[in-house]
Amino acid sequence: MKKPPEINTGSMADISFLLLTFFLLTSSINTDSGIFRKLPPPPDPNAKPADIKQRNIFTVLINKNDRLLVDNKPSDIRLLRQQAKDFISNPSNLETLPEKKFEDIPYLGNYPISKGVISIQNDRGTSYNTYIKVQNELTGAIDELRNALSMDKFNRKFKDLTDPNLIEAIQKAIPISISEAEPKDVGDQ
Amino acid sequence: MARFKNKKSGGVPQINTGSMSDIIFMFLFFFIVISTIRETTLIVKVKIPLASEVQKLEKKSLVCNIYAGLPNKKELAGSGTRLQLNDQYATSNDIGDFIATERQKLEEADRRKLTVSLKVDQDTKMGIVADIKQELRKYNALLINYTTRKTSQGNLFTGN
């Protein structure tokens, strides 16, 4: 009997390699990313409202038309980051910007911690997109300040720090102090 | 001509590459299986907003998702924004039960670290997001993550 001719399978490996690389490139092993926040614990009915001086509060109001009112002046999302940075760091120790409290932080020494609090208030009709953009800019402002401090003290960017003690020190020096008021229902939903 | 002859006679024996394709196919199937796993099928339309300052979610087992957006089937769920918990439409009153069951699934020590990932459509109004957050506060699920897609800062303001 005559042997049937063998099929050449040499190129099979190449074909499956192609398929493999195609799937590797197109598929994403869903890595979620986002902006982290910690919500305040449920309100205690007996607690007195915290007494915060006017100079220590940076209010960001977002109305139902997604317009910003920052410190009682109309503003733009593009300016928000710089405004927030100026507010928190208060570089020239102005009377109108937040006070600082000197505290001993390990690895950093006596560091003036800003007492500034950023307060976001939005309407129920504000779009989620705008809200995220505002949160993004405020996170960015804090991040840039942390980076600057980290570069100054440890000669590395904040996110490149690996020692948990150093990370904690920076986080203590520049805390994420963003408070969110319950939304007002002014506009239509 | 003599050179060619030499090569042919004293060469290294050829390696059998027949099984190579099988190995690669195994890889291929592995990746296909891994990459298509998705916990839930979406029944609301969610277009995740863009942001530049994002962090990666570290431990996926500690994360539970709340989706909000316009429903896919308007006849069933109306035309307003709806929540999706697990596989069904829900209201903000169901969040308490949802958080409780998600907590049950975790180890005792990890329960405090439960992170709620809010996957909300970018055109949603903040009212419904505020309701979700109030419920989460009520049930003490305080770690949240607003899921966003990463983009560069320049893109954020030009494109919308």
Instruction: Report the domain count for chain B.
Output: 1
Is B142 in Cβ contact with A127 (below 8 Å)? no
Residue B95 lies in a domain: yes
Residue B147 lies in a domain: yes
Q: Does B40 reach chain A within 8 Å, measured CB to CB?
A: no
Which residue among A23, A32, A143 places its CB closest to the CB of B57? A32
Cβ contacts (< 8 Å) between A30 and chain B: which residues? Answer: 38
Q: Which of A128, A131, A113 is nearest to A60 (CA)?
A: A131
Residue B18 lies in a domain: no
Per the CB < 8 A criterion, the answer to whether A103 and A95 are in contact is no
**Chain A closest CA to B9's CA: distance in Å?**
22
Q: CA B39, CA B72: separation in Å to the nearest integer?
A: 18
Residue-level pLDDT at B99: 92
Q: Is the pLDDT of residue B62 over 60?
A: yes
Q: Residue B112's domain spans which residues?
A: 44-154
Is A123 in Cβ contact with B126 (below 8 Å)? yes
Nearest residue in A to B49, CA atom: A129
Q: Where are the extended beta strands (E) located within B12-150?
A: 44-45, 50-51, 55-56, 63-71, 82-85, 88-90, 115-120, 143-147, 149-150
Q: Does B61 reach chain A within 8 Å, measured CB to CB?
A: no
Say whether A120 sits in a helix, a strand or coil.
strand
Residue B111 lies in a domain: yes
Mutation to test the A interface, candidates B14, B19, B21, most A Cβ within 10 Å: B21
- Provide the residue ranges of all domains of chain A, joining segments of one domain with +: 54-180
Q: Does B27 reach chain A within 8 Å, measured CB to CB?
A: yes
Residue-level pLDDT at B97: 92
Per the CB < 8 A criterion, the answer to whether B53 and A143 are in contact is yes
Residue B39 lies in a domain: no
Q: pLDDT tens digits, chain A, 189 residues: what are they?
A: 778 887 777 787 788 888 888 877 776 666 678 888 888 888 777 777 777 778 888 889 998 888 888 888 898 888 899 999 888 888 888 877 888 888 888 888 888 888 888 889 888 888 999 999 999 999 999 999 999 989 988 888 888 888 888 888 888 888 888 888 776 665 544
Residue-level pLDDT at B54: 86
Residue B126 lies in a domain: yes
Residue-level pLDDT at A188: 45
